[in-house]
Structure 1
Amino acid sequence: MADKRHRAPARSVPAPQARDKLAFLLALVPWLLEHDRVTVQEAAAHFGVTEDEIRTSVSLVAMSGVPGATATYQHDDLFDIDWDAFESDDEIAITQHVAIDDAPRLSAREAAALIAGLQYLQALPGNADRAGIRTLIEKLSRGASATPSQLAVSGGPDGEVLGLVQRAVAEGRRVRFAYLNSRGEREERDVDPLRVESIDADWYLRGWDHLRQALRTFRFDRMSDMVVTDDPIEHDASEMHLPDTLFEPSAEDLEVTIEASPEVIGLLADYIPDGALTSEVGDRIRTTLRVSHYHGLKRLIAGMPGTVRVVAPEQARRAVAEWAAAGLARYA
């Protein structure tokens, strides 16, 4: 007679899917290689799994590899670990790995270029997660095919001024500073800081100017006596529409006609007004710039030697020529 007794169905815990195990192994192996020798307990704590799961995964890693030319697995085709340390001391050390080095990796030059860009971003007040950027820089340094060149982004803004701007942005406070404008006049400015940007070696603060009641751009090297006030900002970067161009046209701007090599026209885009007429003159492009003062024009042209020529007006040509001659005389 058949057994009529009923058994309560066993409660089952869903087993990890194969793809979940694979994803875990893909994360585990590089971590073990990076840390050289760790305990099972340290690995379990890092990944938030049980110690038995770590032991099982490590044993699976030791049976993994890439078949050789004979399509069979030989000893050199498999991962291997320090079995004595694993079984006796619960330590994990990969003594042989395969295929990992065949994966595409950044060259030392590529990693150095990315690190330089991240260092630049790290300096900007708007990037609050600087710890995340530092971690990414460390990963790029370790993950490149060779050690990246030791470098730092130079020509940045004055450290004290930048530190005060970063503090003001973090605390939502207004800054006050003395500013030397393009006409050589010194003015006190109260500004809600919104963004820090740069063009070549020059750094700028974009913010809401309470004196002018408008968005304005200030050069770091013309600021002095900066303080962070107790006044909260009235305008936040998330609420303001900041134009893509760094400089906004003004009715007081001066128009200058220049001829430039085609490859540098893009660098002058912030100074070329919308609708400016352009024409080809030989191998150069003639167009119009708008600048607030000829002093700024001198610096702009000097930064692109041999590629930009001032055509008109005569006052602008003379200002640039005299400035260049004065600079040359210092070398005599």
Structure 2
Amino acid sequence: MLETSARLLRLLSLLQAHREWSGADLAERLGVTPRTVRRDVDRLRELGYPVNASPGTGGGYQLGAGAELPPLLLDDDEAVAVAVGLRTAAGQGIEGIGETSVRALAKLEQVLPGRLRRRVSALNAFTVPMLRTPQARLDPSVLTELANACRDSERLRFEYLDHAGSATRRTVEPHRLVCTERRWYLVAWDVDREDWRTFRADRITPKPPHGPRFTPRTPPADDLAAYVSRGVSTKAYAARAVIRLHTSAERAAQTIGPSDGVLEPVDASHCLLRTGATGLDVLVIHVMLMGVDFEVVEPPELTDRVREVRDRLSRALAYEADRGLGTDDGDSVRES
């Protein structure tokens, strides 16, 4: 039985390596008869692998696409390449695949032999990414540890740095990882504070051992992405505002990320932005730099600050105009 199982794995590896094999070639590679190859192919089909066979002298066996993804066999170099690719996708925050990459990486690293794990670690340690925007460094191994804790419903212990750089010890029941273009966040139930909290993953230092396991709670929101966006862009700041932007939500989303605020469609030409900042002056700059016409919905104090900025800019332009009238740039017409 052991010999048969090993031969099946070898057969599967061969079928995954090339598009099509003849029965004779497979028999020669495996050291068996063509009849044994046919029996082994039938066993693979029983296990859910869609092995197609075409008759005739030019026919052969081919691994097709099935309704479900069967287990894959990877050699050492392929396993390292996949792990490095998943780490890159996770670290770069590629839209739509970041969280999926972390889940897949967690599964792969769990079964990687030690020698391959060291190769992947070496590549990660001595590779310098040139990112499009500056961001805090985040060890992918931390992400996989957090993902494993979420998957296994296992209590997580870690040290956490707040905005001021002060460290606290936390014990949480992790629920999900949420990623934006630049950062990763952990949504978890804080055991000591008895409430849901959002933690920046780059500020987390795991402190194992973890556990015990827990029964998952009802999440704080159906849309966790919007929940985290509100938390990091609005609720975390003392100064908050609702801004009506004179553009569609789709176009605004091209330049306004989840960490900048929460967008709500109004109609085809307008949307609402709920955002926050450390102060009203910062909010004014934040909104003006978006490059979109806007109007303040609330608070009224922000409208006053916008007027103050408008008057300051008007005075600056007036000073410039006054200096221009009194200067001689050598190009003006002179009276003789």
TM-score using structure 2 length: 0.43
TM-score using structure 1 length: 0.44
- The structure that has the greater radius of gyration is 1
